[in-house]
Amino acid sequence: MNNDVGSIMAACFRIHPVQVYTDRMPQDFVVPSLYFPQPIIVDAPSSVISHRLDCSLAVKVFAKTDEQAADEAEQIARTIRQFRMAIPIIDEDGRNTGKYMRLRKMDSRIIDEGVAQLTFAWTSRYQYNRVEYYKMGSLFLNQR
């Protein structure tokens, strides 16, 4: 998973420290738990020097009852909202980089018995690779 998803996972786990799953859910999964699938990513141009990725991540919050699942999902969302929807970015080793990502929106809903879905949406921007050119040293024109 990329740094954005890892950062969202870490933020959710700090708020709701339960078993976390990232691969397919096993038949005998633990309740309560969180499931982080791969995000949905749509790319688009952003400017002449960059492109953007619009990302969406649908996290499943498992609990014993619908109400508990909804409450836990909303507590995660509420806590993140209190920090202006900014999540600290962590590196591959789990260390804080000092940078933040801002979520565009979050929503939560009950999707099954004892399961709530917390959907995060954000945009990441990346610069295009630039071709290296040699600068011209001097240009001399002879006029006749």
* pLDDT tens, residue by residue, 48-103: 888 899 999 999 999 999 999 999 999 999 999 999 999 999 998 889 999 999 99
Q: Does residue 30 lie in a domain region?
A: yes
CATH of the domain at 122: 3.30.2000.10
Whether residue 29 lies inside any domain: the answer is yes
pTM, two decimal places: 0.84
Q: Is residue 80 part of a domain?
A: yes
How many domains in the chain? 1
Summarised one tens digit per residue, pLDDT across range 99-119 is 999 999 999 999 999 999 999
Domain containing 70 equals 3-127
Measured between alpha carbons, how far is 77 from 69 in angstroms, rounded to an integer?
12
Domain presence at residue 143: no
With respect to residue 52, please indicate whether it lies within any of the assigned structural domains: yes
In a domain, 36, yes or no: yes
Q: Which residues does 103 contact at the CB level (< 8 Å), separation at least 6?
A: 80, 85, 86, 87, 120, 121, 122
